[in-house]
Amino acid sequence: MTTKYISASIPTLKRLPRYLQVLKALNQEENMYISATKIADELKVDSIQVRKDLQSTGIIGKPKLGFELKELIQSIESFLNWDNLTDAFLIGVGSLGQALLGYENFKKSGLNIIAGFDIDEKLVGKTIRGINIYNINKVEDLIKRMKINVAVIALPANNVNMIVEKIVEAGITAIWNFAPVHINTNEDVIIENVNLTQSLAVLTHKINERKNKDGGTK
Amino acid sequence: MTTKYISASIPTLKRLPRYLQVLKALNQEENMYISATKIADELKVDSIQVRKDLQSTGIIGKPKLGFELKELIQSIESFLNWDNLTDAFLIGVGSLGQALLGYENFKKSGLNIIAGFDIDEKLVGKTIRGINIYNINKVEDLIKRMKINVAVIALPANNVNMIVEKIVEAGITAIWNFAPVHINTNEDVIIENVNLTQSLAVLTHKINERKNKDGGTK
DNA sequence: TAGATTGTTAATCGATTAACAATC
DNA sequence: TAGATTGTTAATCGATTAACAATC
């Protein structure tokens, strides 16, 4: 059996969780159908886009009815790999790392943080929100022994690249990076950089834009 | 005098901070020039794109030489409004909010968090990283009295929309939202949603994609 | 049946990439 | 001077939007 592989653009991937959120808020009764139009109305976005996005998950709908609710949820989750839990290590358990441990939603999104690592002796040995914190010097050994492939990095800027090199060497193949440093490694490693400064740039420029518009007429 | 207004796409805005990072790492000597090619090499991106992005800030370069370093930094910062500090309130001072207070970089990006607000009586009255924490019930009054326009929201999902309504009513016109809820208000309010689930969707899908590729040949 | 919604194909739009004359 | 780099205009690419036949 061959499964047709469907790809999706980054913008589409980023919209899918919003649809999922709407869908999960509904009563998931058997044989309930929901249309792209309904989802679009709810989110105040364009219905054609919703339809296209849903199609990229591979689901097939029924004209007039829409998409079977449970099947649709399953289709999106499966497309995003959210129906499998992937174990991950958290590297850096400062305030940001601890905040990330607080997001219980990650588990719903397929990511299971099973241990934390830090250099700070005051943290090592502690348990935060049920997660044990180990000394950072144990991370390579544990990556190998537990065959961990995913790391969440919440370190300060310095030393990030050195640690990345080490953990990639030890077996990490995907990194979710919260450090204020853009990580670039070879192409075999999947990197998702969460750069707050980039987000702030969009916000501050928009503020500036509005200011110029308002002030420009005086 | 009329200033030609230049717009920029969101992708361009998100790339500008990376250029700034590279530029600031250089010695800022007088009359030093740097080319788009050099920046591109450093970041391993395309030089044409760098040139286009820099142009959207309004700077004019010199053929053969490139861009005058100090002028270029100033041009990007001014375009992003990072050369003016904008005062902001932090709403929600849990672990995420406290992590955000730790990012001293925000000041370099034009955002000056001057007070925090929370419902938790254990936090109210405290000073965290030099920022006073007030009771959330004081936020509307202080927004009005101090003429604050920007809010950073780091609340849990519940109640977010109720609080947004209140602070917008009180005078907030721009929101940087870290709550796991997509905020939609009327068009006069600038909203920048930082949705970690969206970022995670990109990561987990890429992992899935790779898995399917590897496993597909067996 | 008629209306709503899908799936598919085409058109539009905007961002990225390419090409090249001007020039320090 | 020759080579490198800019500014500008054109070409390409990909995502969004539109159109419409098929159909429950």
Lowest mean pLDDT among A36-45, A91-100, A180-189, B163-172: A180-189
Q: Give the separation between CA A74 and CA A83, rounded to whole angstroms.
A: 8
Give the HSE-up count for residue A69: Cα atoms under 13 Å, Cβ half-sphere: 16
Checking if the pLDDT of A128 tops 90, the result is: yes
> CA-CA distances (angstroms) from residue B98 to B79, B92, B125, B132?
29, 9, 15, 12
Q: What is the pLDDT of residue A7?
A: 79
Checking if the pLDDT of A131 tops 70, the result is: yes
Rounded to 5°, the CA angle B25-B29-B34 comes to 65
Q: What is the pLDDT of residue B104?
A: 78
Q: What is the pLDDT of residue B6?
A: 65
Q: What is the pLDDT of residue B213?
A: 73
Q: What is the pLDDT of residue B77?
A: 97
Looking at per-residue pLDDT, the higher value among A138 and A4 belongs to A138
Checking if the pLDDT of A130 tops 70, the result is: yes
- In the predicted model, residues of chain B with pLDDT beneath 70 are 1-6, 214-218
Residues forming a β-bridge with B135 = B118
Nearest beta carbon to residue B201 from set A17, A174, A202 = A17
Checking if the pLDDT of A36 tops 70, the result is: yes
Nucleotides of C under 7 A from a protein CB: 3-8, 14-19, 22-24
Q: What is the pLDDT of residue B71?
A: 96
Question: Is there a contact between A75 and A3 (Cβ–Cβ < 8 Å)?
Answer: no
Q: What is the pLDDT of residue A3?
A: 44
Q: Give the separation between CA B206 and CA A10, rounded to whole angstroms.
A: 10
Give the HSE-up count for residue B124: Cα atoms under 13 Å, Cβ half-sphere: 11
Angle, in degrees to the nearest 10, between helices A196-216 and B69-80: 80
pLDDT confidence bin for A187, thresholds 50/70/90: confident
Looking at per-residue pLDDT, the higher value among A43 and B186 belongs to A43
**pLDDT, average across residues A13-32:** 92
Checking if the pLDDT of A5 tops 70, the result is: no
Interface test mutation site (partner B, options A41, A202, A212, A217, max chain B beta carbons within 10 A): A202
Lowest mean pLDDT among A58-67, A144-153, B180-189: B180-189
Token pair for residue B6?
Answer: 């230049």
Q: What is the pLDDT of residue B28?
A: 78
Q: Report the helix count and the strand count for chain A, using DSSP H and E.
A: 9, 9
**pLDDT, average across residues A158-171:** 94
Q: What is the pLDDT of residue B131?
A: 96
pLDDT confidence bin for A218, thresholds 50/70/90: very low
Interface test mutation site (partner B, options A191, A197, A206, max chain B beta carbons within 10 A): A197
Closest CA in chain A for residue B149 = A207
| Contact yes or no for A81 and B7 at CB 8 A | no
Q: Closest Cα of chain A to B192: distance in Å?
A: 6
Q: What is the pLDDT of residue B1?
A: 33
Does at least one atom of strand D sit less than 7 Å from the CB of A55?
A: no
Q: Residue B191 phi/psi, 5° resolution?
A: -120, 130
| Contact yes or no for B197 and A17 at CB 8 A | yes
